[in-house]
Amino acid sequence: MPTQADHFFANARRWKDEFLLLRDIVRENKSLEEDYKWMHPCYTFRRKNIVLVHGFKEYCALLFHKGALLKDPKGILIQQTENVQSARQIRFTNVEQILKLQSVIEDYIREAIELEKSGKKVEMKKVVDYPVPDEFQRVLDGDDALRKAFYALTPGRQKGYLFYFNQAKQSKTREARIEKYYQHILDGKGVDD
């Protein structure tokens, strides 16, 4: 019976040949299981995420979940954005690039599995590592209900708000964002809920 991953590969429009080649390379490592997470094929070791196949407009990629811990002697791992803490990608725009790096990809997969076996974890930023914008601090200081609701949120949701509020360059924009998400915070929701 076809799996969700099978459907992903069968229905791929862009990057189909590249996806299929990446799948073959990853599946060469028999200790990995093929799964389907975040709407993409994900390969796991003992139910822990190792590598994911995904595509974008400009490139397709292998995403290593603990890529920040990989040695990367070839210097090919890319941090998607400055805010991605753990994952790293190897990006491709054609089959030839994948074939050229096949042995390197296989080495990185083996290293990623060994990292998982070792139990090493990426040290993630904590809530205290995110500054509280002055505009938000003023609102928290003057509103007990909001302060209690914000600090009752999960650390991930708190970080999400602090990051989002801090992204705004102008005070007026930060204030507008705080006002927009005021009820969300009171309701115990995150920025993306």
Q: Which two tokens stand for residue 160?
A: 């999400």
Q: How many CA atoms lie within 13 A of 12 on its CB side?
A: 24
Task: Tell me the average confidence (pLDDT) per consecutive run of 10 residues in the chain, 193 residues long.
Answer: 89 95 97 95 97 96 96 94 86 97 97 96 83 95 96 91 91 96 95 84
- pLDDT of 165 reads 94
Amino acid 123: pLDDT? 83
- Tally of residues, the chain: 193
pLDDT at residue 122, as a whole number = 85
**What pLDDT shows up at residue 125?**
79
Domains and CATH numbers, the chain: 4-118 (3.90.1150), 127-186 (no CATH)
70 SS3 class: coil
Rounded Cα gap, residues 148 and 185, in angstroms = 10
Model's pTM, two decimal places?
A: 0.73
Q: What is the pLDDT, as a whole number, of residue 99?
A: 98
